Structure formats: C-alpha cells, structure tokens
A and B are shown apart, each in its own frame.
Chain A
Amino acid sequence: KQEVTQIPAALSVPEGENLVLNCSFTDSAIYNLQWFRQDPGKGLTSLLLIQSSQREQTSGRLNASLDKSSGRSTLYIAASQPGDSATYLCAVRPRSYIPTFGRGTSLIVHP
C-alpha cells in the first residue's frame, strides 16, 4: 500500500526566506504527483502537477521536483511571503489511480 510522508509537519519562517518542503512515497510506480495548497477550512488549490516522466515543474515562485526512483519530491518556494501561509499537501497517483495524500506541511510566514 502506498504511503506518503511529508516533512516537516510544520514550519515557521520570516518573510523573504527560500523554503523547501519534502514529500516521500514508498512505491515508486506512480503516474504523477500533485502539490496542493489548503487554507484553513477551505478546499485544495492545485499548485503543480509532475508527470512520472518529468523531473520538475515551475510556476512563478514555485518549483517542484520529482525523483521517482528514490520516491521523493520537493516543493521549493522562493522569496516567501505572508500570503504563502497555508498547509501544503502532496498527492501521488499510483497504479491503482487512487490518489494518496500526505498529511501536509503547515507553513507560517511572518512579516
């Protein structure tokens, strides 16, 4: 059974720092990996999707990488801002196609 782990569970940083959030998964036979952002009590907002054949994807200040063989993905946030404060979730799509989520990293960026 696919298991997804996100480290750290929580992170508090001053504005302007560059951040790295980690996601690891136990079964490397995945179709894709998707990063989401969730604000408290709200739905999930898709940030980036990386297909299994890709190594990275970029959107603005966000860059996500995927190393399928080692079962790892990282989300890099450049020049963090208070508006980036949220919970960041990664989800993998295994061979069963059933998305499996990590527990998330709760990020606080303080001014």
Chain B
Amino acid sequence: DTEVTQTPKHLVMGMTNKKSLKCEQHMGHRAMYWYKQKAKKPPELMFVYSYEKLSINESVPSRFSPECPNSSLLNLHLHALQPEDSALYLCASSQDFAGIRETQYFGPGTRLLVL
C-alpha cells in the first residue's frame, strides 16, 4: 500500500475562519511533508517532519501551523489566511528524510480557496 490520503478534497474558507487539513499514511514512513502548489507552478516545500519532530520550516507565515500527532498523521492548521494563500496543498511521505533512496509518495491534495 503506497497511499497517502488527504482530507478534505476541497475547502472554501473566509479570512477569519480556522480550519485544518489532514494527511494520513500507513506505510510506516517516518518523514512527512507539506507542500503548497499554485496553478502552473511547481510544488513549494513548507514543512518537513522527521520522526514526529519539525525538521524544516521554510519561512512559512505563522498563519500556517503544522502538527504531527503521531507517525501516521500530519495536520496543517489554518488561521486568518489571505486570498493569496489559495492553492493546492499537497502532503507527502517518505521512509526517512535523509537518504539517497528516499522516494516521496504524494497524496491527492486539498484544493483551498480563501475568500
């Protein structure tokens, strides 16, 4: 099973709302990632968790707050977002973070629209 699941598939929120994105994998992977992808652009790395600890934060605004409750789950909490935050949010996982054999497996993404 090489599946990464993400919920919800679509999300519309106002700038004052608080919402959360959820990502789950059951492959025993110890590294999990959040990416943001705007239309016709490549994915941009936001956060990396390795062994449930935040390893990388690519200077992401504090209105995005990641959380890794356990090795299978990754959340992204959203608060006071701006319209320019509208994008496809992708979750990925890999066996480990560092290593030459690390294949990343991506989920289907959450399409976020901020009004």
Contact = CB atoms under 8 A, between A and B. Distances in A.
Interface of A: 31-32, 34, 36, 41-46, 49, 51-53, 89, 91, 93, 97-99, 101-104
Contacts of B99: 31
B100 A41 contact: no
Contact of B104 (A46, A51, A102): A46
A53 B102 CA distance: 14
Interface size class of B (residues with CB under 8 A): 20 to 34
Q: Is the interface of B mostly helix, strand, loop or mixed?
A: loop
Interface of B: 4, 6, 33, 40-43, 45, 48, 56, 58, 88, 90, 92, 97-109, 111
Given A43-B90, A101-B43, A103-B41, A31 B106 contact: no
Q: Is the interface of A mostly helix, strand, loop or mixed?
A: strand
B100 A51 contact: yes
Contacts of B45: 98-99
Contacts, number: 58
Nearest to B42: A101
11 contacts: A31-B100, A34-B103, A41-B111, A42-B108, A43-B4, A43-B6, A43-B108, A46-B103, A91-B104, A97-B97, A99-B45
Contacts of B90: 43-44
A46 B3 CA distance: 11
B31 to A, nearest CB: 9
